[in-house]
Structure 1
Amino acid sequence: MNKKMHHYTDGGLKNVWLQNGFEIRSTPYGKGVAIHDVEGLTKAICLALAEKSSPLSGVEFRYIRSGGMLLSQAGLGTMMGADAQSIARWEKHGRLPKWADKMVRVLYMAHADGDQTISSVVSRVSAVERLINQKIVVREVRNKGWRSDLVVA
């Protein structure tokens, strides 16, 4: 049986089609798509983007940053020696400097390949960002006093 492919548009991608690894399900809101192994799919897409011969688009650059490395614009900017506004501008307008295109590919490939130095830097930057963006939520629990939780904003 020839199964229909699914146009995968996560993160604004326009050129990704899934041959399998998904199910169409009925939901209370209509038809929905359940993706198997989203983390593995994200890695496969990021590797394909990092290895493609043409320049990355802004959407592809953002997908590698946010989906592949789980970094904010500021976090990737820190690693690349650029400010968050530059990263945002490249993603929005799709005009990346050649060095930024090459650097994000190298960073992602090393990260995906398990390079300990790069992976630890990516993890450290991501952890620092989570700490910076945390807020303390305090609630009163009946007969038990106050309780607090750290929540990523």
Structure 2
Amino acid sequence: MYHYQECGLRNVWLVNGYDMHTTPYGDGVSIHDIEGLHRAIARGLVNKAAKLTGSELRFLRKEMGLSQAKLALILGNEDQTVALWEKRGTQPKIADRFVRALYREFVEGNAHIRDMIDLLVDADSEEREDRINFVQGSQGWKVAA
């Protein structure tokens, strides 16, 4: 078996799907379908019962192509907060759950979660008025446009 540490996780071992070879620089390994392997690793992380470790959170974040700053913006935190979660391996339960849901949306292509997040992030960055206007029509009350 091959201990696949290059992904940044300490607990990933490959039973097959790789070739060992000798190079002028020493032993080397070629992994078959590395993108598929990373998707499988991420699915395993998303579905595990225990909380994500810091390195697992980092792996999912990177698989989604998000920087620490972008993930922090999505979660409503500072980028240094995400860096600490990844370094110390502890994050709030809501962040753990949300990152898992975000990854599933990323892979499965259901844009509803991401659209909602983008809307909330945009709303956070704009100045908002505290007043909300309502109108009553034939269908009942609704927010005025």
**Which TM-score applies when normalising by structure 1?**
0.71
* Aligned-residue RMSD, C-alpha: 1.8
- Secondary structure of the residue aligned to 1:46 is helix
Alignment-derived partner of residue 96 in structure 1: 91
Alignment-derived partner of residue 8 in structure 1: 4
Q: Hey, what's the Cα distance between the residues in 1 that align with 2:115 and 2:14?
A: 31
Give me the identity figure in percent: 47
- What is the aligned length? 117
CA displacement, residues 99-132 of structure 1 (integer Å, 9 cap, x when unaligned)? 111110010011111113456799xxxxxxxxxx
Q: Which runs of 5+ in 1 are unaligned?
A: 123-153
- Secondary structure of the residue aligned to 2:73 is helix
Q: Which has the larger radius of gyration?
A: 2
Q: 1:62 aligns with which of 50, 58, 62?
A: 58
- Mapping 1:2-151, distance limit 5 Å: 5-66=1-62, 68-118=63-113
Alignment-derived partner of residue 130 in structure 2: none
Q: CA deviation at 1:11?
A: 3.6
Q: One-letter code of the match for 2:98? A: M
Q: CA deviation at 1:20?
A: 1.1
Name the CA shift for 1:119/1:26 in 2 (closer, same or farther; >3 Å): farther
**Which TM-score applies when normalising by structure 2?**
0.75
4+ long deviations beyond 2 Å: 116-122
